[in-house]
Amino acid sequence: MVYTSLIARQRAFFQSGRTRPIEFRREQLQKLYQAIMAAENDLLSALYTDLRKSAAESYTTEIGLVLSEIRHASKRLSVWMKPQRRRMPWLAWPSTARIAPEPFGVALILGPWNYPVQLLFTPLIGAIAAGNCVVMKTSELARCTATAIGKLIADIFPADYVTVVEGDRETAEALSSEKFDVMFFTGSSNTGRAVMAAAARHLTPVTLELGGKSPVIVCADAPLDVTARRIAWGKFLNAGQTCLAPDFVLADRRIRQPLVEALNRAIGDFYGEDPQRSPDYGRIVNRQHFERLIGYAGASQHDADDLYIAPTILTDATATDPVMQEEIFGPILPVLAFENLDEALAQLRDRPTPLALYLFTKDRATQERVIAGARSGGVCINDTITHAIGWSLPFGGLGESGMGAYHGKASFDCFTHRRPVVNRSLAFDPKLRYPPARHSLATVKRACRFLLGD
CA angle at residue 418 from 412 to 422, to 5 degrees? Answer: 150
Rounded distance between C-alpha atoms, residue 309 and residue 33, angstroms: 35
C-beta neighbour count of 41 within 10 angstroms: 10
DSSP collapsed to 3 states, the chain: CCCHHHHHHHHHHHHCCCCCCHHHHHHHHHHHHHHHHHCHHHHHHHHHHHHCCCHHHHHHHHHHHHHHHHHHHHHHHHHHHCCEEECCCHHHCCEEEEEEEEECCEEEEECCCCCCCHHHHHHHHHHHHHCCEEEEECCCCCHHHHHHHHHHHHHHCCCCCEEEECCCHHHHHHHHCCCCCEEEEECCHHHHHHHHHHHHHCCCCEEEECCCCCEEEECCCCCHHHHHHHHHHHHHHHHHCCCCCCCEEEEEHHHHHHHHHHHHHHHHHHHCCCHHHCCCCCCCCCHHHHHHHHHHHCCCCEEHHHCEECCEEECCCCCCCHHHCCCCCCCEEEEEEECCHHHHHHHHHCCCCCCEEEEECCCHHHHHHHHHHCCCCEEEECCCCHHHCCCCCCECCCHHHEECCECCHHHHHHCEEEEEEEEECCCCCCCCCCCCCCCCHHHHHHHHHHHCCC
In this structure, what is the dihedral angle of CA atoms 397, 176, 69, 188, given to the nearest 10 degrees? -40
Query: pLDDT in tens for each of the 454 residues of the chain?
Result: 579 999 999 999 999 999 999 999 999 999 999 999 999 999 999 999 999 999 999 999 999 999 999 999 999 999 999 999 999 988 888 999 999 999 999 999 999 999 999 999 999 999 999 999 999 999 999 999 999 999 999 999 999 999 999 999 999 999 999 999 999 999 999 999 999 999 999 999 999 999 999 999 999 999 999 999 999 999 999 999 999 999 999 999 999 999 999 999 999 999 999 999 999 999 999 999 999 999 987 667 999 999 999 999 999 999 899 999 999 999 999 999 999 999 999 999 989 999 999 999 999 999 999 999 999 999 999 999 999 998 999 999 999 999 999 999 999 999 999 999 999 999 888 887 889 988 899 988 888 888 887 6
Please, what are the domains in the chain?
4-210+404-417 (3.40.605.10), 215-392 (3.40.309.10)
Decide: 185 and 208 in contact? Cβ < 8 Å: yes
Q: Which of 243, 327, 380, 414 is catalytic?
A: 243
Q: Which of 57, 209, 327, 400 is catalytic?
A: 209
209 is a catalytic site residue: yes
Of 137, 88, 131, 128, the residue nearest 110 (C-alpha):
137
